[in-house]
Amino acid sequence: MTIYDKSGQRIFFQREGATYGKIYDPESALSAFTSVPDDYPHWRRLDIIPEGQDIVLPIVEKLKKFDISDSKHASAIFSGNIEPVDFTLNMDAQALEFLPMAIGDPAVTSHKQEMVQKITCLAKESITNNDYFLLDIIDGSGDVEHHLFWFDVTTEGSAPTVTGINASNRHEVAIDEDDTAIEVAVRTAAAINGVSGVTSGEPTTATLTVTNDNAGAVQPAHDGEAATDFIFNQITQWGSTDYGVVEATDTGLPSFTFRFEQRNATSSEDIIWDAFGVVVESIKVDVKFGDKIAKASITFKCPYALENAQGRADIEPPRKSIDGFPTMSALKETSGSNYYIIQEGTTDRTPETVDGISLEIRNNVEFKSDIAKRYAILACATRRDITMNIVGATGEKELFTYWQGVYKASDGDWIPTGASYKLNSYFHLVRDATYDYIFMHIYNWLLREHNFHFMAVDEAVKMVDMTFEDGSSDTNGRIIDDLDFVSYIDKTVMVV
């Protein structure tokens, strides 16, 4: 049967460069707003999407036109423009790379840790001429290099040509005189050791330990279109990079290209679309006890999509083999450093117990059109709205008192009457305290809502439900003073 099957669904993405609508391309061969080749090797995976999603794609408007001579129906159908559309993806939070992208343009602060991974090789009989795998490294200047290792089984092989992989980075592994998996591993290790920035030692088993010489986040090694069927994604130690993000005060936003596929057993019936110029309209991060895993709901805005006639993405990115953020243990407060979810100056005002926190950032994106284009060619972020909702139990009334009063000017900040200092937050979501965390300081809150709850007998303690929204900004016009994003997500996604 040719019915579309769940296993045939794919959603991938990648960062666009300085040219709006042009997907990341280290060889600069691709064009903006143009179908992505089927052998494009730099797609990246989203966080886990546990439920079905409806994706709305921007297409040409169909306009029914009525004439005075019409009776009850249109006399013509004209083609209009391509209007931008929204689509929302609900995910379990593994990396949350779209959170910093909703705020500004990340820059590398430092590389933190080297990638160490294992690759298990197969015997020659399992390998075909020109089979290959892909391996990324961090070079001495901190940039990502993309390498390809291909196997010459008969001495008659030739280096495969792959979009986005430079010819100088395609390395031959000659195994015409070898048979066993260990022998193949020795030859593969020798080829890897010949590349600056990575080592693989001298293996005594079929499994290689591949270590990047330089610290930095990279995507795990994985098969290409002509697959080796080696065993990849055996991560001993993730590479990690620290990205600093300054809240953008201009209209620019990082943009992405998305690939949407629904594959069919009859490949001519595949539905394959590329969406360009995609930006984050809003992101909501939920850290709630009942959810078990932190959640992210991201609404993207897209001005243009194109049906891809070049075919399926033949080089799929590896799965994100990192844990989700567990809801309660991932969100941290540090009393010694005065880092609290809600604080008045440096005084902790967080409820004594917290059942859930929702942080939402909305960019209010507008698109601008241009002559000779049916689609909008520029995404502009207007006012940025930030809200945080907290539900918990408390034993103090200060925040309720601040909510009911008025706001006053104090040393350049607008703070609640009765408070000594402004209300602010440190949102600190941690998987690894050194190599994988999000640390965001929100400068000045307006306490917008606070419930006045009387308990039923079975509730036991008084619960509070409070909503904060962005208040007055600092002298630089920002409400987010600081954002460090230390992550296993590689630079090709984060930095143009």
| pLDDT 10s digits, 132-170 | 999 999 999 999 999 999 999 998 888 999 999 999 999
The strand pairing partners of 323, in sequence order, are none
pLDDT of 111 above 80: yes
Q: Where are the beta strands (DSSP E) in 60-206?
A: 60-65, 76-82, 85-92, 107-113, 116-120, 132-138, 144-152, 170-174, 198-199
Question: Above 70 in pLDDT, residue 1?
Answer: no
Coil, helix or strand at residue 7: helix
State the chain's mean pLDDT as an integer.
Answer: 94
How far apart CA 146 and CA 44 sit, in angstroms, is 14
Residue 81 to residues 66, 205, 367: CA-CA distances in angstroms?
19, 60, 13
For the chain, which residues make up each domain, given as ranges? 6-56+84-108+244-494, 115-238
Burial class, 29, CB count within 10 angstroms (exposed 0-12 / middle 13-18 / buried 19+): exposed
- Rounded to whole angstroms, the Cα distance separating 244 from 242 reads 7
What is the C-alpha to C-alpha distance for residues 39 and 170, in angstroms, rounded to an integer?
Answer: 15
pLDDT of 251: 93
Q: Are strands 170-174 and 144-152 parallel, antiparallel or unpaired?
A: parallel
Contact by Cβ (8 Å): 223, 230: yes
Distance CA 163, CA 478 (A): 40
**pLDDT tier for residue 453 given thresholds of 50, 70 and 90:** confident
pTM for the whole thing? 0.94
Mean pLDDT of 114-127: 97
Q: Which two tokens stand for residue 187?
A: 């030859």
pLDDT of residue 178: 84
93-106 average pLDDT score: 96
Residue 201 predicted with pLDDT over 70: yes
pLDDT tens per residue across span 306-338: 999 899 999 999 999 999 998 888 899 998 899
